[in-house]
C-alpha cells in the first residue's frame, strides 16, 4: 500500500531527544524550545514565536489575545479544520462563515467586507495547501474596520506572499502578515514533531501577555530570566508550551527544512506535469497557485466535477493499493454548527468538500510510487470514465 502520508525522520530526532533528557530540563522553554523559536524569528521575520503543543493551542492563545468576548463575531472560511472555529467558539464568539474562491479553497477576500458588522472583531484567513490568501485585501479591510487578523498558517511553513499591488516586491513569509499566526507541526505537515504547533506574534502589544498566557497565566518566564524576583498568577492562560523532548524532535526537522522542501516540491511538480494533459481535457482541475503566492508543496490535490467521479477515483486507487483521501467537510453544515449558521449557501466550500481529493505526498515517496499513482489515474480514464 502506498500510504497517503508517512512521517519523515531526518536521523537526528532520537539524538536530540536524548540530549534534551540529559539536560535535566524537560518541562519546556529550555534550550531546544528557545533554539526553535529563534530560528523562526530570524528566518521568517516573526517578532516573537512561542512553541505550543498543537496548532489548536496556538489558535486558542490567539483567541485569548484578541480578547474575543461572547457575542463577538469572527469571520473564517467554512472549508477548514474544526480548530480554526473551535478556538474562537470557546471564547463565546459567533462564527461567520465565508465562502471559498471559485478556483481555490482559500477564503474569497472579495466576499469578506459584506460580512463585516459592528460586532466583527477578527478575520481568520486559512492558507490552504500552504498557499497565501489575498492578504493585501484582507489587511486593507482589517485596517479600514479596525479588526484583528489571525493567520491560520497550519499548512504554510516556508511559504510566502508576493505583493503585486504593493510598491515593495519583497516576498513576506506567511504568518508574518497578520497580527498573530498559528502553525502546525503535526505529523502530516512539512516539518513535524508528532503533535506540535507555534504561535507567531507580529504586533508588539501582544508579546508580553502572550508569554504569560503560554505559562499558565503566570509571569514565570520573566522570573527565570531574572526580570522579577518572584512569580505568580497574573492572567488567564493554560499549559500551552510543549516539553523539551518535542522541541528537540522539531529541531532535528528544522535543520533539514530546505532539503525537505526541495524534495516535496520535486514530487509536487512531477504530479503537476504528468497530470496536466488530463486536466486540460477537463477530467479534473489541478491546484492553482495564485499570482501573489508561492508553493511550499504541502499538498497535491485534484478537484473533480462531481462527488461521484471523486469517489470512483478514490475507490480505483484503493484497489491498486494507493490511499488517496478527501479533506474537510464544510463547517457551516456540520452537526455542531448547522443550526447556528445564518443560512447562507456557501457553494464553493461545499463543492470542495464534495469534489477535492488529496494524493500521497511525503518526503520518502519514491519516483516509482509516483509513477504508479500517475499511471493508475491515467488508466482509470481509459477504463472507467
The verdict on 97 and 135 lying in the same domain is yes
Q: What CATH number is attached to the domain comprising 265?
A: 3.90.1150.10
Q: What CATH number is attached to the domain comprising 133?
A: 3.40.640.10
Specify if 5 maps to a domain: no
Instruction: Look up the domain containing 350 and give its range.
Output: 257-383
For residue 184, give the C-alpha cell: 502546525
Last residue of a domain, one of 198, 233, 254: 254
In the structure, what pLDDT confidence band is assigned to residue 139 with cuts at 50, 70 and 90? very high
Answer whether residue 164 shows pLDDT above 70: no
The verdict on 215 and 327 lying in the same domain is no
Share of the chain above pLDDT 70, in %: 97
The verdict on 246 and 270 lying in the same domain is no
pLDDT of residue 384: 47
The verdict on 96 and 218 lying in the same domain is yes
Specify if 4 maps to a domain: no
The verdict on 127 and 172 lying in the same domain is yes
In the structure, what pLDDT confidence band is assigned to residue 385 with cuts at 50, 70 and 90? very low
Specify if 186 maps to a domain: yes
The count of structural domains within the chain is 2
Beta bridge partners of 160: 173
Specify if 6 maps to a domain: no
pLDDT of residue 223: 67
The verdict on 104 and 156 lying in the same domain is yes
Specify if 138 maps to a domain: yes
The verdict on 285 and 357 lying in the same domain is yes
In the structure, what pLDDT confidence band is assigned to residue 23 with cuts at 50, 70 and 90? confident
Average pLDDT, the chain: 95
Specify if 30 maps to a domain: yes
Q: What is the pLDDT of residues 236-283, one digit of tens each?
A: 999 999 999 999 999 999 999 999 999 999 999 999 999 999 999 999
pLDDT of residue 98: 98
Q: Average pLDDT, stretch 278-301?
A: 97
- Quick check: 10 and 366 in contact, CB under 8 A? no
Q: Average pLDDT, stretch 381-385?
A: 61
Enter the DSSP assignment of 293: B
For residue 263, give the C-alpha cell: 524534495
Specify if 70 maps to a domain: yes
The verdict on 80 and 229 lying in the same domain is yes
The C-alpha angle 310, 314, 317, rounded to 5 degrees, equals: 135
Instruction: State the pTM of this model.
Output: 0.96
Cα–Cα distance list, 78 to 128, 325, 353 (Å): 12, 19, 10
The verdict on 372 and 243 lying in the same domain is no
Say which range, 104-108, 186-190, 335-339, 368-372, has the weakest mean pLDDT.
Answer: 335-339
Strands 172-173 and 160-161: antiparallel
Last residue of a domain, one of 254, 277, 299: 254
Question: If you write DSSP's letter for every residue of 309-340 in order, what string do you get?
Answer: HHHHHHHHHHHTTB--B--PPPGGGSTTTTTT
Specify if 8 maps to a domain: no
CA distance 321 to 346: 34
Answer whether residue 373 shows pLDDT above 90: yes
pLDDT of residue 232: 87
The verdict on 295 and 375 lying in the same domain is yes
Last residue of a domain, one of 227, 254, 281: 254
The verdict on 33 and 162 lying in the same domain is yes
58 three-state secondary structure = helix
pLDDT of residue 25: 84
The verdict on 124 and 244 lying in the same domain is yes
Q: Average pLDDT, stretch 126-155?
A: 98
Q: What is the pLDDT of residues 209-243, one digit of tens each?
A: 999 999 999 887 776 677 776 688 899 999 999 99
Say which range, 61-65, 67-71, 223-227, has the weakest mean pLDDT.
Answer: 223-227
Question: Of 20, 355, 21, 27, which is closest to residue 216 (Cα–Cα)?
Answer: 27
Burial class (CB in 10 A: 0-12, 13-18, 19+), 153: buried
- Quick check: 32 and 24 in contact, CB under 8 A? no
Helix (H) or strand (E) holding 122: strand 120-123
Answer whether residue 6 shows pLDDT above 90: yes
Amino acid at each position: 500500500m502506498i500510504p497517503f502520508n508517512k512521517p519523515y525522520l531526518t536521523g537526528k530526532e532520537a539524538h536530540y531527544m536524548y540530549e534534551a533528557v540529559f539536560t535535566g530540563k524537560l518541562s519546556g522553554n529550555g534550550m531546544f524550545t528557545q533554539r526553535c523559536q529563534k530560528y523562526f524569528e530570524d528566518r521568517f521575520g516573526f517578532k516573537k514565536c512561542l512553541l505550543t503543543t498543537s496548532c489548536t493551542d496556538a489558535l486558542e492563545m490567539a483567541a485569548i489575545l484578541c480578547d474575543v468576548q461572547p457575542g463577538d463575531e469572527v469571520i473564517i472560511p467554512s472549508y477548514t479544520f474544526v480548530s480554526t472555529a473551535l478556538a474562537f467558539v470557546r471564547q463565546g464568539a459567533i462564527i461567520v462563515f465565508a465562502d471559498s474562491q471559485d478556483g481555490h479553497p482559500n477564503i474569497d477576500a472579495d466576499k469578506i467586507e459584506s460580512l463585516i458588522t459592528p460586532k466583527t472583531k477578527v478575520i481568520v484567513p486559512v492558507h490552504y495547501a500552504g498557499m497565501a490568501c489575498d492578504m493585501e485585501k484582507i489587511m486593507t479591510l482589517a485596517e479600514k474596520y479596525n479588526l484583528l487578523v489571525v493567520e491560520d498558517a497550519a499548512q504554510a511553513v516556508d511559504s510566502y506572499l508576493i505583493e503585486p499591488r504593493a510598491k515593495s516586491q519583497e516576498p513576506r513569509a506567511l504568518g508574518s502578515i497578520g497580527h498573530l499566526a498559528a502553525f502546525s507541526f503535526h505529523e502530516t505537515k512539512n516539518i513535524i514533531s508528532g503533535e506540535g504547533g507555534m504561535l507567531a506574534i507580529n504586533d508588539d502589544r501582544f508579546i508580553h501577555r502572550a508569554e504569560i498566557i503560554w505559562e499558565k497565566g503566570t509571569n514565570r518566564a520573566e522570573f527565570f530570566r531574572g526580570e522579577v524576583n518572584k512569580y505568580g498568577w497574573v492572567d488567564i492562560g493554560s499549559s500551552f508550551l510543549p516539553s523539551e523532548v518535542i522541541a528537540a524532535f522539531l529541531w532535528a526537522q528544522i535543520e533539514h527544512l530546505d532539503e525537505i522542501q526541495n524534495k516535496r516540491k520535486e514530487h509536487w511538480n512531477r504530479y503537476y506535469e504528468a497530470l496536466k494533459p488530463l486536466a486540460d481535457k477537463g477530467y479534473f482541475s489541478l491546484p492553482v497557485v495564485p499570482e501573489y503566492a508561492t508553493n511550499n508543496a504541502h499538498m497535491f490535490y485534484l478537484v473533480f466535477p462531481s462527488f461521484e467521479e471523486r469517489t470512483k477515483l478514490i475507490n480505483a486507487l484503493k484497489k491498486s493499493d494507493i490511499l488517496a483521501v478527501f479533506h474537510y467537510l464544510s463547517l457551516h453544515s456540520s452537526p455542531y454548527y448547522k443550526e447556528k449558521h445564518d443560512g447562507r449557501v456557501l457553494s464553493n466550500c461545499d463543492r470542495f468538500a464534495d469534489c477535492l481529493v488529496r494524493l500521497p505526498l511525503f518526503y520518502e515517496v519514491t519516483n516509482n510510487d509516483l509513477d504508479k499513482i500517475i499511471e493508475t489515474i491515467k488508466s482509470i480514464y481509459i477504463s472507467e470514465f
